[in-house]
Structure 1
Amino acid sequence: MSPLSQRGTLVIFVKAPMVGRAKTRLAAGIGSARAVSFYRQSTDILVKRLGSDPRWRTVLAVDPPAATGRGWLHLWPPHLQRVAQGRGNLGQRLRDVLKAIPLGPVVIIGSDAPQVSRDHIARAFHLLRHHDAVAGPAADGGYWLIGLKRLKAAPGAFLDVRWSGEHALADTLASLPQGFSVARLPVLRDVDEAGDLDDRILLRSIRRKPCPSSFLPPSPRGAGGN
């Protein structure tokens, strides 16, 4: 096992900040421009905060898949490795990303909980020293973090999960092999809909001028490189 894999890998699932692709449920409540502006700014903060910590290796799982190319380097820190999320539901994309990263402990988060701290991630990796998995529950029944030690096979992980609802965490844990020990982190709030935003978060995240009504991806010529 290489030093990098021993150190552990943090995977952050991110989407290009484009209207119609990122934060569509939030956009229904506060408008597309503000929703994408919130997502762009909160994701930037999260990636920079967590991606600069030398205690783990950070990989971005990006959507659309073309965002692994050179034409998209402006979206996130260019020194961070990117892998494509791929197709299918979230469970299939999680399984595909796990196959694409080095062996060893892995912690996976989305970009919907901007309050995730370095301490949260460090705690998750610490818990994986003593447990097969770790979960960070969200208040709505989903989760903001899932981690696996990956010393034992988990062929059914993330299968038959009812995503985007109150059963997501319970179904995910049920998909792990019987006997897996699971540690839990504190409950955090993720931001999926307008009601998930409190005034403090909303004011901080849209303080700047809202983004244009749409984000255009790079031209096919610019996005073709890898």
Structure 2
Amino acid sequence: MRGTVIIFVKAPVAGRVKTRLGADIGYGRAAALFRTLTQRTILESLKGEWQTVLAVDPPLAAHESARFWPSCLPRVPQGQGDLGQRMARAFDHAPPGPVIIIGADAPGLRAQHLRAAFHALKGAGAVFGPAEDGGYWLVGLNRRRAAPELFKGVRWSTKHALKDTVQTLPPDFDVRMIETLADVDEAKDLAVIGPAAAAH
């Protein structure tokens, strides 16, 4: 069964995205960099046999024209709540089959990582792409079994996010990890972007 990749994106508006990064380098530049990262992520997500869906914020952006994102991609609003509540809702409302959720701030993400995650989900209940800071850039479920406590009590934006999330899964879940990647949250992370960081 064909899987689904859901990309969590925000409208690249200065002062509303990458605010920690913006505090260091300026909110306009941070928004421009986020737009570049989002474009890269979308391009990689279109190189596979899965379906790609954008979960967008703010909710009204789901109904805008292709001002920020390719019009060919279906869009759904992220909705209300913390990150865990929004991701849980995305899993619940996704088409049948395995589902992977990613953000748009891991410059090293490639289509091969998404293939590796779907391959892992053939046997595992859940898969994660760890981030170097203790969080994660990918989470996926095969959805053959329920995970009713998923994301409850996770300490988001901390070094504990991955460990906390794994602990919300049923204890007998087979959990796999794929490659660790860096994500971009602060100015010190800009080196992982490469030349694009200097272009904005």
TM tier relative to shorter chain: over 0.9
1:157-200 deviations in Å (ceiling 9; x for gaps): 111100000110001000011100011011110000111111x6
1:68 to 48, 62, 70: 62
Aligned to 1:48: 43
2:33 pairs with 1:38: yes
Residue 49 of structure 1: how far off its partner (Å): 2.2
Alignment RMSD: 1.2
For 2:69 and 2:2, locate their aligned partners in 1 and report how far apart those are by CA, in whole Å: 22
CA distance in 2, matches of 1:9, 1:205: 30
CA distance in 2, matches of 1:75, 1:38: 13
What amino acid is aligned across from residue 48 of structure 1 in structure 2?
A: L
Larger Rg: 1
Partner in structure 2 of residue 59 of structure 1: 53
Residue matched to 1:203: 195
Q: Deviations over 1:131-171 (max 9, x none)?
A: 11111101111001111010001111111100000110001
Provide the residue aligned with 2:16 in structure 1.
21
Q: Which ranges of structure 1 fall in alignment gaps of 5 or more residues?
A: 1-5, 211-226
The 2-side partners of 1:131 and 1:99 are apart by 18
Gap runs ≥5 in structure 2: none
- AA of the residue aligned to 2:165: T
Higher relative contact order (CA 8 A, sep 6+): 1
- Is 1:178 aligned with 2:171? yes
Task: Give the share of equivalent positions with the same residue, in percent.
Answer: 50
Q: 1:67 is aligned with what amino acid?
A: A
Alignment of 1:148-163 (within 5 A): 148-163=141-156
Correspondence 1:81-120 to 2 at 5 A = 81-120=74-113
Q: Which amino acid aligns with 1:53?
A: K
Aligned residue type for 1:44: Q
1:73 to partner: Cα distance: 2.1
Aligned residue among 118, 122, 136 for 2:115: 122
